[in-house]
Amino acid sequence: MAFTVYLLCAFASLVCAVLLLRGYRATGMRLLFWGALCFSIFVATNSLLFVDLVVFPQLDLAPYRHGFTLVALSLLLYGLIFETQS
Amino acid sequence: MLRPFLFGAISMGCLTIALFFFRFWRQTRDRFFLGFGAAFLLLMVERFIMVTIDATHEFAPFVYVVRLLAFLLIIAAIVDKNRKG
Amino acid sequence: MASESLPPAVAALISRYIRSVEQLEVLLLLHGQPERFWTADEVYDVIRSSRSSVMQRLENFTAEEFLETEPGPPRRFRYAPKAGELRSAVDETATVYQTWRIRVIEAIFAPADPVQSFADAFKFRKT
């Protein structure tokens, strides 16, 4: 069950990342670029959960996952703060 | 040591992002932002739950159900965006 | 913001296709006489911007399927959008442009809003 959920999260993040990247190319809005970057990292962290438990059960990748999540959020926050001026 | 710091920072990050999306919703009246804001609010709740039940990883049912809800909200917002048009 | 008060179809048409008042005038001129074929020179006689840019606009609008063309020479253009949505959006723009001229012009030059672009990026099909 948990696998399915995290796979779905990874997939949803991938859709967001692709759509935002496409939007960035069409409009040149840098906010969309930071959003795409954030969701790309979400793809990685959600997929990493799978690697963590199934591929290398003896390894604990949790600190990396949390670290990457924080980086992703910071990138989106940067975009929200610096690239929206209204 | 690192874990509580990361979780606290992630929670605050999610909350701040959620508030930005709520502001955008108020600005544009686009329901899409309501979905994204709620999703990031749930991601904050997820971290809170992980700390309070002291889950060692994200496979505790409470945790993944909340994340599932968050991403379902994101999916719903995208679907809704494409239905209106 | 200026474009807020424009009907959504008009705002969308402008943000997607219209970058200058000249473009808008060319499109609306041909829209006004949908049965007539125009040469670039005839359009220029009304619009008076420059011959080469009028030709460029006509070709772009043809590529975007607002116009159909007869090879000529001289090449002639006629207003004939295939898509019904495009047709109704132009109709609406023409009506709005008569009464809300300034708002339409402001919408052409208004910088796009990053926040709205963020939400619009999630539309699978571009409107």
What is the span of the domain harbouring residue A69? 2-82
| Contact between chains at B17 and A74 (C-beta distance less than 8 A) | no
φ, ψ of residue C70 to 5 degrees: the values are: -110, 130
Domain extent listing, chain B? 2-84
Across C117-126, average pLDDT: 84
CA A76 distance to own-chain centroid: 10
What pLDDT score does C1 carry?
41
CATH classification for the domain delimited by C2-120, as one of 1.10.10.10, 3.30.1360.200, 3.40.50.300, 3.30.390.10: 1.10.10.10
Q: C114 contacts in A (CB within 8 Å)?
A: 29-32, 83-85
Whether B25 shows a pLDDT value over 80: the answer reads yes
Q: How far apart are CA C94 and CA C107, in angstroms?
A: 14
pLDDT by residue (tens digit) across A5-60?
889 999 999 999 999 999 988 878 899 999 999 999 999 999 988 787 777 777 77
> Between chains, do C121 and A22 touch, taking CB under 8 Å as contact?
yes
Spatial contact of C49 and C22, defined as CB atoms under 8 Å apart: yes
Nearest one of C81, C124, C109 to C23, comparing CA atoms: C109
A10 or C126: which carries more pLDDT confidence?
A10
Between CA B42 and CA C123 the distance in angstroms is: 24
CA A78/CA A76 separation, integer angstroms = 5
B83 vs C97, residue with greater confidence: C97
pTM given for the model: 0.68
What pLDDT sits at residue C127? 46
- In chain C, residues with a C-beta closer than 8 Å to the C-beta of A85 are 114
| Cβ–Cβ contact B79 with A under 8 A | no
Q: What angle do CA C63, C59, C123 make, to 5 degrees?
A: 35
**Short-list B65, C58, C59, CA closest to A2:** B65
More confident residue, C112 or A37: A37
Q: What's the maximum distance between 2 C-alpha atoms anywhere in chain C?
A: 47
Among C112, C122, C124, the residue with its CB nearest the CB of A27 is C112
Q: Give the pLDDT of residue C126.
A: 58
Q: A19 contacts in C (CB within 8 Å)?
A: 121-122, 124
C78 membership: H or E segment, kind and range? strand C76-79
> Among C4, C85, C123, which would you mutate to test the B interface (most chain B Cβ atoms within 10 Å of its Cβ)?
C123
What interface predicted TM-score (ipTM) does this complex get?
0.90
Mean pLDDT of B4-26: 95
Instruction: Select from A13, A16, A24, A31 the residue whose CB has the most chain C CBs within 10 Å, as the one to mutate to test that interface.
Output: A31
Residue C3's pLDDT is: 44
pLDDT at C74 over 90: no
In chain C, where the domains are located: 2-120
Question: Within 10 Å of residue C124's Cβ, how many Cβ atoms?
Answer: 12
Residue C83 has pLDDT above 90, yes or no: no
Burial C35-59 (b: 16+ CB within 10 A, else e): eebbbbebbbeebebeeebbbebbe
Residues in chain C: 127
What does residue C68 show for φ and ψ, rounded to 5 degrees? -115, 160
Q: What is the pLDDT of residue C2?
A: 41
Most C CBs within 10 Å, among B28, B33, B74, B84, to test the C interface? B28
Spatial separation of the C-alpha atoms in residues A27 and A6, rounded to whole Å: 31
Q: Does B83 touch chain C (CB under 8 A)?
A: no
Domain total of chain A: 1
Q: Residue written as tokens 């007539």?
A: C36
